[in-house]
């Protein structure tokens, strides 16, 4: 009787050295590809956030066309049946002092929702004092006013009074001759998110700005010099150090409209 013998060359498995080589190649590919994938995901989220900002601008145009003004936060109440569909999910009637401009846009049906793919989606209680905007101390100086978001952990659309009659004191580059300014607050951003959104809005920057950390550091400190000084130190996206639960991150204030 003949016995069938398997060819030893076909039954041989991988050697330990071959397996180590394959794993090394996979590790190298992962180390090269993974950061690019994460960068692409982050860039897509920032682009989507910019699309939301454009939607808010369109809603502001509709509001101004209907009412011919932008009410300051706390100056006008939303409808009594309005329930805030984001953040603290406050239910109506919401006190006038706790109503922001985003609430008015949503309650009027001019903005469907306020959800962004970057930043936290928290639930802290909101009051008009949660986000403040101060005038510059020197009306003839080159120091725009300062923002503060006290512990807010979700995006908010605000309208604050800010009188500026010259290009030195304007709060945003696009807000010259303003009486009130509408802006989007995105709290709790990482360095890369903050640098990415600043670059999308105010970039590209000249070669004297070196990387994400440099963008964020100089924007927060308003310390840039040279060709990019104005758009880094002010621009239409302002960055400040976070506070409260976001104190290890950064808050972005993005120009939307003004009157």
Mean pLDDT of 174-189: 94
Tokens of 13: 């498995």
Q: What number of other Cβ atoms are within 10 A of residue 140's Cβ?
A: 8
Predicted pLDDT of residue 257: 97
What does pTM read for this prediction? 0.85
Neighbouring CB atoms inside 10 A of 179's CB total: 15
- Cis amide bond preceding 204, omega within 30: yes
Look at 22-26, 105-109, 253-257 and tell me which has the smallest mean pLDDT: 22-26
The C-alpha atoms of residue 7 and residue 13 are separated, in whole angstroms, by 13
Report the first-to-last Cα separation within the chain, whole angstroms. Answer: 100
Instruction: Kindly list the strands in the beta sheet with 237-241, ordered across the sheet, starting from the edge strand earlier in the chain.
Output: 156-164, 178-189, 250-258, 237-241
Bigger pLDDT: 128 vs 64: 64
Residue 36 has what pLDDT? Answer: 67
249 contacts 258 by C-beta, under 8 angstroms: no
Using CA atoms, how far apart are residues 38 and 59, in angstroms rounded to an integer? 32
Mean pLDDT of the chain: 87
Pick the more confident residue, 249 or 5.
249
Q: Sorting pLDDT into bands at 50, 70 and 90, what band is 214?
A: very high
The tens digit of pLDDT for each residue in 14-40 reads: 787 877 877 777 777 666 666 667 778
**pLDDT digit string, tens, across residues 68-93:** 999 999 999 999 999 999 999 999 89
């Amino acid at each position: 009787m003949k016995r069938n013998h398997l060819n030893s060359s076909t039954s041989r498995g991988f050697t330990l050295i071959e397996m180590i080589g394959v794993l090394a190649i996979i590790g190298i590919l992962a180390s090269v590809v993974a950061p690019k994938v994460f960068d692409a995901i982050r860039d897509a989220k920032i682009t989507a956030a910019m699309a939301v900002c454009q939607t808010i601008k369109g809603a502001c145009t509709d509001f101004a066309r209907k009412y011919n003004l932008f009410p300051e936060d706390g100056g006008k109440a939303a409808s009594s049946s309005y329930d805030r569909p984001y953040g603290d999910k406050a239910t109506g009637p919401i006190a006038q002092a706790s109503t922001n401009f985003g609430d008015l846009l949503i309650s009027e049906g001019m903005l469907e929702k306020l959800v962004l793919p970057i930043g936290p989606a928290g639930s802290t209680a909101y009051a008009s004092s949660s986000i403040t905007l101060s005038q510059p101390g020197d009306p003839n100086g080159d120091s725009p006013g300062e923002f503060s978001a006290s512990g807010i952990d979700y995006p908010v659309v605000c309208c604050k009074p800010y009188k500026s009659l010259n290009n030195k004191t304007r709060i945003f580059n696009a807000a010259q001759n303003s009486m009130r300014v509408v802006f989007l607050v995105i709290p709790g951003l990482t360095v890369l998110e903050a640098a990415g959104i600043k670059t999308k809005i105010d970039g590209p920057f000249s070669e004297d700005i070196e990387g994400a950390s440099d963008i964020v550091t100089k924007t927060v400190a308003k310390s840039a010099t040279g060709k990019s000084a104005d758009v880094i130190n002010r621009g239409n996206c302002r960055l400040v150090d976070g506070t409260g639960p976001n104190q290890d991150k950064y808050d972005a204030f993005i120009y939307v409209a003004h009157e």
